[in-house]
Chains A and B, each alone.
Chain A
């Protein structure tokens, strides 16, 4: 019984993680940036969806749409205001740019977190789910919302895969992650590729955030742990490998779920963290890492 519960809950959580981590890995693979404001962008999307419901009395669909829109716009804002100026800055040495971008995105994430806490307090918020009701699977009482979450996540991941592997624009993005110079030589403007990637990332983060809000709820305190689990997953899977991130998302998701059910919810993040530490000692490249 417990086994099935863990299996089902774990699957839903892992799917959510997979969606978020895919976005995180995409940004790193193409733009070369480890976006430490990832969690903040997700929470911003959720809070927008919640605010739409609480203040504007919008329905769940409208709220979700607003959430995704906010995810999209804050992602582009992050690129144009923080990441791009630093990448093009003449005042910073090339070798130091990575560090500055890491620090700036971290700062930006904390800023968003503080703003959310100020405007809406740090109480947990949930978003009205699009799908309500309960189903029974193998004798386990499961909210339909959970199934909905897993389905949507995989739908989006599938769409993304189609986009990247089957469309011209997508292939250009994939090529840019392998060899930016090669892409320029073929007459494709890298600057447009980057904008496209951050836009896609924004949508991914918006959807993941809204789904999380419907499933478990978030608060401004979730910002840190969300970013932490995204980069733990991406490090585990191997920086630069999206398929690695997908697998790692399930490893981490199930580890967390099992810990929460079998030991205690308070300790849920620990085994995953220990695993990341072990991987960094033993195989810093991660499971399928390229870089």
Chain B
């Protein structure tokens, strides 16, 4: 995939997106709903990949950013009945602020501490949501009065094109000079510093961008589902699924994350007849992929054998 120019990849992707936008013509509302969730999930996974794949930082709690954005947007709507687009902007902003607050201590520490810091952040958010139940709906969840649309097709198209645009931006970023600097910062911070790059500044920027897209996607999900809850947006298991999607799809490819997300949702759906066991099987398959195919699906497809 390396050998294809950014423009060509984007063009190819655009073709696929356009094709996908015709799906509502022949596909049931149920499947459209699944795909809608998959697309938002894809944005979660792409944002995670930017941070991990490029800045080299493993975020074990992407749901901290997602949850902050989602709940901020939802609570504003509940309290003040503001127009949806304002809530969305506010949600994205809240996630960015959350990202900065998380990044500052996290970037000071190395290795496993960083991952643990992000895990702690998620737990704190979870506890806060439960404790401030009056505001957030606690464990039961938040119900928002407005949704973007009741039409499956409209929701699907919004999710699809949101994912397309986010993907285009994130992918172009990864292929740009800034992306190259980020990769250097992640792979060899000492070398990057000796070459004149302020590593902290760049990693912080990666954090903020990741937070923005995660938070915005989270907020959009709230106004699609009409609810927000710890179980769907904040729980550690959701975070783990995002990481699996990105790793399954192929680390450091950005676009692979979308493939991983769709694959994961499709697999969960296919295993639905197993009932409660389906979760277990999904995670088991994910574990096998992590152990045996660390380069993920995209790695398999493009025949990448080397250590990426």
Residues of B close to A102: CB separation below 8 A = 58, 60, 112, 115
| Given A110-B283, A266-B130, A273-B127, also A103-B291 (CB < 8 A) | no
Decide if B115 touches A117 in the complex (CB within 8 Å).
no
Residues of B close to A82: CB separation below 8 A = 287, 291
Q: Is A270 an interface residue (CB 8 A)?
A: yes
Our pick among A224, A235, A267 for the contact of B236 (Cβ within 8 Å) is A224
Q: How far is the CA of A277 from the CA of B237 in the complex (A)?
A: 21
Map CB proximity to B onto A264-290 as digits: 1 under 8 Å, 0 otherwise.
001101100110110011001000000
Q: Is B247 an interface residue (CB 8 A)?
A: yes
Q: How far is the CA of A106 from the CA of B284 in the complex (A)?
A: 12
Q: Is A111 an interface residue (CB 8 A)?
A: yes
Decide if A99 touches B131 in the complex (CB within 8 Å).
no
Q: Measured between C-beta atoms, what is the minimum distance from B116 to chain A in Å?
A: 6
Q: Which of A87-110 contact B (CB under 8 A)?
A: 89, 91-93, 98-100, 102-104, 106-108, 110
5 closest cross-chain pairs (CB), A and B: A114-B280, A111-B283, A114-B279, A118-B276, A107-B287
Map CB proximity to A onto B86-110 as digits: 1 under 8 Å, 0 otherwise.
0000000000000000000100110
Q: Number of B interface residues at 8 Å Cβ cutoff, please give it.
A: 37
Our pick among B111, B112, B117, B240 for the contact of A110 (Cβ within 8 Å) is B240
Q: Is A59 an interface residue (CB 8 A)?
A: no
| Given A92-B307, A111-B284, A284-B108, also A106-B240 (CB < 8 A) | yes
Residues of B close to A98: CB separation below 8 A = 111-112
Q: Which of B259-308 contact A (CB under 8 A)?
A: 276-277, 279-280, 283-284, 286-287, 290-291, 294-295, 307
Map CB proximity to B onto A70-95 as digits: 1 under 8 Å, 0 otherwise.
00000000000010011001011100
Residues of B close to A274: CB separation below 8 A = 124
Binding site for A on B (CB under 8 A): 58, 60, 105, 108-109, 111-113, 115-117, 119-120, 123-124, 127, 130-131, 236-237, 240, 243-244, 247, 276-277, 279-280, 283-284, 286-287, 290-291, 294-295, 307
Residues of B close to A267: CB separation below 8 A = 127, 131
Residues of B close to A93: CB separation below 8 A = 307
Our pick among A89, A239, A276 for the contact of B120 (Cβ within 8 Å) is A276
Chain B minimum-CB-distance residue to A106: B240
Q: How far is the CA of A281 from the CA of B117 in the complex (A)?
A: 10
| Given A98-B112, A277-B120, also A107-B283 (CB < 8 A) | yes
| Given A93-B307, A107-B244, A266-B131, also A280-B280 (CB < 8 A) | no
Q: How far is the CA of A104 from the CA of B247 in the complex (A)?
A: 11
Decide if B276 touches A117 in the complex (CB within 8 Å).
yes
Chain A minimum-CB-distance residue to B308: A93
Q: List 9 A-B contacts (CB under 8 A).
A: A98-B111, A106-B60, A107-B290, A111-B287, A118-B276, A239-B112, A277-B124, A280-B109, A284-B109
Beyond contacts A34-B112, A106-B240: 13 other A-B pairs, Cβ-Cβ < 8 A, are: A91-B307, A100-B294, A103-B243, A103-B290, A107-B240, A228-B119, A228-B123, A235-B116, A266-B130, A270-B127, A273-B123, A276-B120, A280-B120
Decide if A270 touches B131 in the complex (CB within 8 Å).
yes
Decide if B131 touches A280 in the complex (CB within 8 Å).
no
Decide if A104 touches B290 in the complex (CB within 8 Å).
yes
- Identify whether the interface residues of B are mostly helix, strand, loop, or mixed: helix
| Given A82-B291, A86-B291, also A118-B277 (CB < 8 A) | yes
Q: Is A24 an interface residue (CB 8 A)?
A: no
Chain A minimum-CB-distance residue to B239: A106
Decide if B287 touches A104 in the complex (CB within 8 Å).
yes
Binding site for B on A (CB under 8 A): 34, 82, 85-86, 89, 91-93, 98-100, 102-104, 106-108, 110-111, 114-115, 117-118, 224, 228, 231-232, 235, 239, 266-267, 269-270, 273-274, 276-277, 280-281, 284
| Given A114-B280, A280-B120, A281-B105, also A104-B115 (CB < 8 A) | no
Residues of A close to B115: CB separation below 8 A = 99, 102
Q: Measured between C-beta atoms, what is the minimum distance from A167 to chain B in Å?
A: 30
Q: How far is the CA of A82 from the CA of B293 in the complex (A)?
A: 14
Residues of B close to A266: CB separation below 8 A = 130-131
Q: Measured between C-beta atoms, what is the minimum distance from B265 to chain A in Å?
A: 17
Decide if B290 touches A115 in the complex (CB within 8 Å).
no
Decide if A114 touches B283 in the complex (CB within 8 Å).
yes
Tell me which of A232, A267, A274, A280 has the highest count of chain B C-beta atoms within 10 A of its own C-beta.
Answer: A280
Q: How far is the CA of A239 from the CA of B114 in the complex (A)?
A: 13
Decide if A231 touches B116 in the complex (CB within 8 Å).
yes
Our pick among A92, A118, A224, A281 for the contact of B294 (Cβ within 8 Å) is A92
Chain A minimum-CB-distance residue to B243: A103
Q: Measured between C-beta atoms, what is the minimum distance from B168 to chain A in Å?
A: 28
Q: Measured between C-beta atoms, what is the minimum distance from B134 to chain A in Å?
A: 14
Decide if A103 touches B247 in the complex (CB within 8 Å).
yes
